[in-house]
Amino acid sequence: MESTVKITAAEVNKLRQATGAGMMDCKKALVEAQGDFDKAIEVLRKKGQKVAEKRADRDSSEGAAVAKINADQTQGVAVVLGCETDFVGKNENFLALANELAEIALNYNSKEDFLAADFGGMTVADKLTEQTGVIGEKLDITSFEKLEAPFVGSYVHINKIAALVGLSAKVDNAETLVKDVAMQVASMGAITLSYKDFDLAFVASETEARIAVIEKDNIELGRLGKTLKNVPQFISMAQLTPEVLANAEEAAKAELKAEGKPEQIWDRILPGKMDRFISDNTTLDQEQCLLDQNFIKDEKINVAKYVASYGDVEITGFKRASVG
């Protein structure tokens, strides 16, 4: 028998505020639940589960990246709330949900614990399922990154990339330092802090592969009569042992002698030649190591030198979370 329970606009609005579902969906749920608010929420959740099941194989390649830092700035989290379309990813309510989720994520050290956390009487995972039904697109936490340090800061680029950076101490103007370095992380996509983190077998393999690519390119450039690319001997500071650097310096001196440069001025020329040798033979570090990258705000120095300008402080770690 059809229900005669009268559903008021205030009840519909209350359910809408609680779930984010559309007005008509809320009204239908209340009608189905005979006006019982809790049952209406369950009706909407079941709808969400059905939608989630249908869209389980969809790709959550759009979304919003958010970073949050705790009150004493010793912990930070970067999460990406994924969805299917850029239209939803830019929606004000979607962004508000992403920020609310990130605040909860601050209290957890893993994605699994975060998804099991409470969100208004349900788990975060259940909330995502519910909102999948509300929005009609697959919602998922596609990235979860946590960082702890004596001082943590962040930078978010147009809700697409969120970066966290940890410092060994809070120094004067630490906020500026940590934001600048986090911006570097977001922009340049380093994967490790220093060349010291590289496995030597990886460096050797990467060297061989890069040289092969350059030599192949040079064949075509030579055929076209164009300037050939420099073929480096090495690609990382990890390979530049004291012996390698000493040999490079002797080679530079021999070159200066062959050019007829007076020996008394070699000391003024050699540092520049050695800097060039190191630069030409550390391309892997410059691409993938945060401290060895050229600083985006002043390409005359690397990130390590920029950090050193703030005194007795070091970068202890960084994290990056991006949409897509």
**Domain spans of the chain?**
9-54, 62-170+177-185, 196-313
Give the pLDDT mean for 270-283. 92
What percent of the chain has a predicted confidence (pLDDT) above 90?
A: 68
Confidence of residue 57 (pLDDT cuts 50, 70, 90): low
The pLDDT of residue 9: 85
pLDDT for the residue 54: 65
pLDDT at 2: 45
Rounded distance between C-alpha atoms, residue 28 and residue 248, angstroms: 78
**Percentage of the chain exceeding pLDDT 70:** 95
Mean of pLDDT values over 132-145: 88
pLDDT for residue 141 is more than 70: yes
CATH of domain 62-170+177-185: 3.30.479.20
pLDDT tens digit sequence for 200-214? 999 999 999 999 999
Q: Which residue has the tokens 């033979």?
A: 281
The confidence score (pLDDT) of residue 56 equals 65
* Over residues 178-197, mean pLDDT: 95
Q: Output the pLDDT for position 44.
A: 78
pLDDT digits (tens, 9 = 90+) for 88-122: 899 898 999 999 999 999 999 999 999 999 998 88
Instruction: Report whether 78 contacts 163 (CB < 8 A).
Output: yes
Q: Which CATH class is domain 9-54?
A: mainly alpha
Q: State the pLDDT at residue 4.
A: 63
Task: Give the pLDDT band of residue 234 (cuts 50, 70, 90).
Answer: very high
Confidence bin at 1 (pLDDT 50/70/90): very low
- At 5, is the pLDDT very low, low, confident or very high (cuts 50, 70, 90)? confident
Instruction: Output the average pLDDT for the chain.
Output: 90
